[in-house]
Amino acid sequence: AQTVTQSQPEMSVQEAETVTLSCTYDTSENNYYLFWYKQPPSRQMILVIRQEAYKQQNATENRFSVNFQKAAKSFSLKISDSQLGDTAMYFCAFTDNYGQNFVFGPGTRLSVLP
């Protein structure tokens, strides 16, 4: 069974600084999909970024980028120029090539400090 680990339960960063959230996963699959979801205090789950395992290029969405290391099974999220609105829980998630089962990590609570 696949597992997703987020080793940082809580993190904080100063506004305008850069922060990196860690995620590692375990799978025997060769092709799969990885996601970062954001959950602000409103509880709404919002997709931040998605990476297909067969793509070597790291995904980027504005201030959010990932460092995908397939061999190391690592998928970290970098947030540049942190903003107060980035304060949220961040979940790393995995699904296999069939997109049926989804496995989420335990989450990292990020606080952006003014």
Partner 1 sequence: EAQVTQNPRYLITVTGKKLTVTCSQNMNHEYMSWYRQDPGLGLRQIYYSMNVEVTDKGDVPEGYKVSRKEKRNFPLILESPSPNQTSLYFCASSPWLGETYEQYFGPGTRLTVT
Q: Interface with partner 1 by CB under 8 A: which residues?
A: 1, 4, 6, 9, 33, 35, 43-45, 47, 50, 91, 93, 95, 99-107
Beta strands in the chain (DSSP E): 3-5, 10-14, 19-21, 24-26, 32-39, 46-52, 60-61, 64-69, 74-79, 88-96, 102-104, 108-113
Give the nearest distance from C-beta 77 to partner 1 in angstroms. Answer: 15
**Alpha-carbon span 114 to 82, nearest angstrom:** 10
Name the residue nearer to partner 1 (CB basis): 99 or 114: 99
CB of 70 to partner 1, least distance (A): 18
The smaller minimum CB distance to partner 1, of residues 33 and 58, is found at 33
With respect to partner 1, which residue has the nearer C-beta, 66 or 107? 107
Give the C-alpha separation, 22 to 108, whole Å: 9
